[in-house]
Structure 1
């Protein structure tokens, strides 16, 4: 396992890499057509969930100074609600973005110092037990990724696909 500069991220590094694996595995075999299906018009579709996952990755990168812009930000930024009138990007386009941003974010997490992580990062939550710092933002992003992978996994089963396999790719280093 890679060792982060800050021991505050020792639990985040394996979680990030695990989420990268889960993201790819939970999408394995899902067709572009099925990725746009909603359940009884009440759920987000998988493409929206994938886009929101990527919005988290790009936001994390931006916090650490990565200037890459998410090409499809206007569709997903800050959990923007699904709009059935929009033509969303394909899963393949989103997966390509995933492979583009994830290695950069992973390396920034490895390089982050305690000082960077302790910096104030206003999120507008105003919750007394939740200091608005870069470290807590990282934690929120990791939590959101976990949630979205679970949602996609549920949609996968509802749409008639097999459950996700845990055939991790040991060569995926982010």
Structure 2
């Protein structure tokens, strides 16, 4: 296992890598048509959830100083509300985007130092018990990805797909 320079990320690194696996597993076998379906017009569709998931990875990239831009930023940034009038990317496009950013973020997570993680990163949550720094932002991103994978897994079942598997592809190193 890769060892991060920061001991503060010893929990984040395995979670990040497991999210990579979970993201790919939850999307496995979904059709493009089904990925655009909403339940009773009230839920987000899987495309939106997957796009927000990838956008969160770009958020981590940004906080770590990477100069990478999500090509679908305007559709998903800060959990922007789903709009059925927008033209959303395909699952394939989102997965390509995911594979492009994820290894770069992973390497940055391994390389970041405690001093950088302690830097203030204003997100204006105004929650008195959350210090707005880079470490806590990354932690919140990990939580968001957990949530999104759970939502996509539920949608799989509601769309009559088998439950997601928890297969691990050991060739994916991020």
- 3-state SS, counterpart of residue 83 of structure 1: coil
* 1:118-133 equivalences in 2 (<5 Å): 118-133=118-133
Partner Cα separation in structure 1 for residue 107 and residue 7 of structure 2: 15
* 1:135-150 equivalences in 2 (<5 Å): 135-150=135-150
Q: Deviations over 1:78-107 (max 9, x none)?
A: 110000111110000000000000000000
Q: Deviations over 1:115-161 (max 9, x none)?
A: 00000000101111100000000000000000000000000000000
2:37 is matched with which residue? 37
Q: How many Å apart are 1:68 and its aligned residue?
A: 1.1
Q: How many Å apart are 1:55 and its aligned residue?
A: 0.9
Partner Cα separation in structure 2 for residue 28 and residue 8 of structure 1: 32
Unmatched segments (≥5 aa) in structure 2 = none
* 1:4-43 equivalences in 2 (<5 Å): 4-43=4-43
Q: Does 1:94 align with 2:94?
A: yes
Partner Cα separation in structure 2 for residue 127 and residue 167 of structure 1: 37
TM-score (norm 2): 0.99
2:68 is matched with which residue? 68
Q: How many Å apart are 1:60 and its aligned residue?
A: 0.4
Runs of 4+ in 1 over 2 A off after TM superposition: none
RMSD: 0.5
Partner Cα separation in structure 2 for residue 125 and residue 72 of structure 1: 24
Partner Cα separation in structure 2 for residue 21 and residue 167 of structure 1: 7
Partner Cα separation in structure 1 for residue 167 and residue 124 of structure 2: 39
Unmatched segments (≥5 aa) in structure 1 = none
Partner Cα separation in structure 1 for residue 19 and residue 107 of structure 2: 15
2:46 is matched with which residue? 46
